[in-house]
Structures are given as structure tokens and as C-alpha cells.
Amino acid sequence: MKKSVVFTPPPPPVLLPRVSNHYQAEKNSAGLGFCGWVLTIFSWILVMLTFPMSLCICLKVVQEYERAVIFRLGRLFSGGAKGPGIFFVLPCIESYTKVDLRTVSFDVPPQEVLTKDSVTVSVDAVVYYRVSNATVSVANVENAHHSTRLLAQTTLRNVLGTKNLSEILSERDVISSSMQMMLDVATEHWGIMVERVEIKDVRLPVQLQRAMAAEAEAAREARAKVIAAEGENKAARALKEAAREARAKVIAAEGENKAARALKEASDIINESSSALQLRYLQTLNTISAEKNSTIIFPLPIEFLTHFIKK
């Protein structure tokens, strides 16, 4: 019978925190051998015979922002990097290398990148990094700074090659963070810590710039037409409302005109008969007394007033 084979995928890699590699130096310096110890004793004898002149050669000073990686007979000296301050170097058998721990910034040269949507763009960036482990940066890589710069160029091309042009133009912060994480993980074994990556400029081909400018101009014209149409719509509504108001005023004027004619006809009829005027007068008194009972009315003939007006 055939046996079924079940394939189990390997677990994803786990990123471990940065650890110091000083223990490697201790193991290396432990095995100097017989000749190594003989040369070490000879160096100490030479220092004591030439004392105090030997202090000028053996005492070294490194600044606060520097560390010294010491090699004894080609092996890393135990205790890791020395500094800041004064440290002692045996002549003839020990040498040291100064490492600057300050943050270094460098410009990534413009890279011609073919995006995911087949558009060629030229992108440059700036990278900020520093040496986090002086011993590892000297022992594990020939030139940590040069290697970091080359890796930054390659990482920039690889990351931008998986993005569309719109993503490159609008998601610079995301791309910068992704590059910073990738570079930091890759340079961890070199004793380098990448602190920040920033995309400086994205230069497009001239033809593409013209095409995008034409597209933007067409979009602006379309938007202007839409705004003009909305203005015409609002103006039409305002005119329609004004027409309704004007029609209402015309209707009200016609009503006033009809009311005035009716009042004129009524006044002509009342003027023809004195009894009708008296009845209208009494009807008005009845209406006033029904609405406001506290009102006192004193009838006064018009002829009485005309008598005083003539005088």
C-alpha cells in the first residue's frame, strides 16, 4: 500500500530582538595559544621597560559618540568595544578600529523604477541610520556604511516595483515605513539600525506629465460645467419663484380693483337713498357693540362738523 505523505509548511520566521555578540569575542580571545601568550608577555615587558614613554603609544582616547573595537593578534578582544574615554592598547599585538555611533544620513541616488502598472518613474530617497553594535559592524561586514547604501538602493527599487503609480504618489508614508522595516531587519546582522526612510521626489516622464495635465484640465472643465449647470438650475428656480410672487401680486391687484368697484357701486346706491345710509349706520353700530361691549359711541352728524369747518 502507498503511504500518504502530508506536507507541513514551515513556520513563519520570527524576528528576534537585537542582542549583543560580545560572547563571540570572548570565545575567540580565549584561544590565543602558546605563541600568543608569549607575544603578550613580551609586549607587557616592552611596555614596562619603556615606561613612561610607552604611555604615549598605549593610551588611546575615544569621544563620547565613538567606540573602539580592539583586535589582539587578529582576534576580537574580550569585553567588546571600548569607550568612551581612555583605554589601553598593547603595542605590536593589538590594533583597534574607531566606530562612529552618530546618526548618518545619505541620499539614495535617483532610481529608474518600472511600477506595477508599467510606468517608468525616477525616485530618490534619504535614509537615516546609525551603528547599534560597533563590534558586529566591524567583524561581520567589510564596510557597513557602503553595504547599507547599496542595500537601500536595491530595496527602493524592489518596493516601488510592487506599487502602482497612484500608490507611489499618495502613499509615501506607507512606502517609507515598509522600506525602514525591511532595511532594519536586513542590516541587523551588520550592527546597523535604520531609523528613518523618506521618499524625497518622484519624477515622471515629460509625456506622462503632459497627459496627466491634460486629464486634470479636462476634469476641471467638466467640474466647471457641472457648477455652471447647478447655477443655472438655481437661477431657474429663483425665476420661477419670482414669477409666482408676481402672479400673486397681480391677482391681489385684480382683487383690490374688483373690491374698489364693488365699494363704488355700493356707495352710489347708498347715496341715492338717505334711509339706506341710516340703516348702514345703525348696522355698523350693531357690529361694534357686538365685538367690543366696553366701547362707547357718540353719534355726531357730519353737517355739524361742516358748520365749524366753514367758519
Residue 311's pLDDT band, with cuts at 50, 70 and 90, is: low
* pLDDT value of position 150: 92
Q: Mean pLDDT throughout 220-225? A: 86
- Name, in order, each residue with C-beta under 8 angstroms of 288's C-beta and a sequence gap of 6 or more: 295, 297
- Burial grade of 175 (CB within 10 A; 0-12, 13-18, 19 or more): buried
Lowest mean pLDDT among 94-108, 146-160, 252-266, 287-301: 287-301
CA angle (77 as vertex; 75, 81 as ends), nearest 5:
125
Least confident of 71-85, 204-218, 243-257: 204-218
Name the percent of the chain lying above pLDDT 70.
Answer: 80
pLDDT of 275 over the 50 cut: yes
Residues 139-145 have a mean pLDDT of 88
What confidence category does residue 130 fall into, taking pLDDT thresholds of 50, 70 and 90? very high
Supply φ then ψ for residue 17, to 5 degrees. Answer: -65, 160
Sheet holding 94-100, edge to edge: 75-76, 66-72, 94-100
- Cβ-in-10-Å burial (0-12, 13-18, 19+) of 296 comes to exposed
pLDDT at 28: 47
CB 179 within 8 A of CB 125: yes
Spatial distance between the Cα atoms of 66 and 39, rounded to a whole number of angstroms: 29
pTM assigned to the model: 0.58
Q: Is the pLDDT of residue 128 over 90?
A: yes
Nearest to 162 by CA among 146, 147, 182: 182
Q: Is residue 143 classed as helix, strand or coil in its secondary structure?
A: coil
Identify the bridge partners of residue 107 per DSSP, sorted by sequence position: 126
Q: What angle, 0 to 180 degrees and rounded to 10, lies between the N-to-C axes of helices 274-291 and 206-272?
A: 120
Mean pLDDT, residues 271-277 taken together? 71
DSSP structural state of residue 140: S
pLDDT tens sequence across 17-73: 444 444 444 444 446 677 778 877 887 888 788 888 878 888 888 888 888 988 888
